[in-house]
Amino acid sequence: MKLYIVRHGIAVPRGTPGLKDDDRMLTEEGMDKTRRAAAGLCALKITPDVLLSSPLPRAAQTAEILLEALGKRIKLRTIPALAPSGAREDLYRDIRSYSKKLESLMIVGHQPYLGEVAGQIAFGSPDHYIELKKGGACAIELQEVRTIPKGIMIWLLTPGILRRIAGRHGAEEFPAADE
């Protein structure tokens, strides 16, 4: 199974007066850049069977943008394990539950959590942290899905590269996904 890991897009800055960190949403720039990065994933023909998202608004908005780009038929589930306070063990249990049913799974969440997950799966330890930029993504081919999944990193792309891929494929804006 392929595991796609996507960090949420640019959000309202941490420490914005009157706004709790957990309530931060994507900015207009964040939504625009996320749409264009999603178009890059679309150009790469990434079509996960299921998309798991953190419940926080900035990740949920990113997941919705990804669904719009990649296909409304993709099943979306919000799981607490992808929140910044989530437990990797719970996420790995969710990944295991899909491993025999799906060809690909996409998760959307936050740093440093996602970087630790990617490092642990691809390189054997969360100390081998992967830096995912806001709106960036990586792909891991899972080889084992035991207590802690193990796999091989296939690619790691910044949002800027994803946007360039979209532009080269004439996909600055994505087509209607279900056509």
- Tell me whether residue 45 is in a domain: yes
> What angle is formed at CA 76 by the lines to CA 146 and CA 36, rounded to 5 degrees?
105
Q: Which one is predicted more confidently, 42 or 170?
A: 42
**In this predicted model, what pLDDT tens digit does every residue of 76-132 receive, in sequence order?**
999 999 999 999 999 999 999 998 899 999 999 999 999 999 999 999 999 999 999
- Tell me whether residue 128 is in a domain: yes
pLDDT at 178: 38
- Tell me whether residue 143 is in a domain: yes
Q: Which pair of tokens denotes residue 34?
A: 């996320």
**In this predicted model, what pLDDT tens digit does every residue of 5-38 receive, in sequence order?**
999 999 999 999 999 999 999 999 999 999 999 9
Q: Give the DSSP letter of residue 176.
A: P
pLDDT at 175: 47
pLDDT at 176: 40
For the chain, the domain total comes to 1
State which residues form the domain around 65.
2-8+23-155
- Tell me whether residue 171 is in a domain: no
What is the pLDDT confidence band of residue 71, given thresholds at 50, 70 and 90? confident
pLDDT at 81: 98
Q: Over the chain, what is the mean pLDDT?
A: 93
Q: How many CA atoms lie within 13 A of 29 on its CB side?
A: 6
Q: Which pair of tokens denotes residue 105?
A: 């799974």
- Tell me whether residue 37 is in a domain: yes
Distance of CA 43 to the CA centre of its chain: 16
- Tell me whether residue 176 is in a domain: no
pLDDT at 100: 86
Distance in angstroms (rounded) separating the CA atoms of residues 170 and 95: 33
Residue written as tokens 């060809």? Answer: 103
Distance of CA 3 to CAs 97, 101, 119, 141, 171, Å?
13, 13, 13, 6, 23
Q: Residue 42 maps to which CATH number? A: 3.40.50.1240
What is the pLDDT confidence band of residue 171, given thresholds at 50, 70 and 90? low
SS (H, E, C) 102-147: CCEEEEEECCCHHHHHHHHHHHCCCCCCCCCCCCCEEEEEEEEECC
Q: Which one is predicted more confidently, 170 or 142?
A: 142
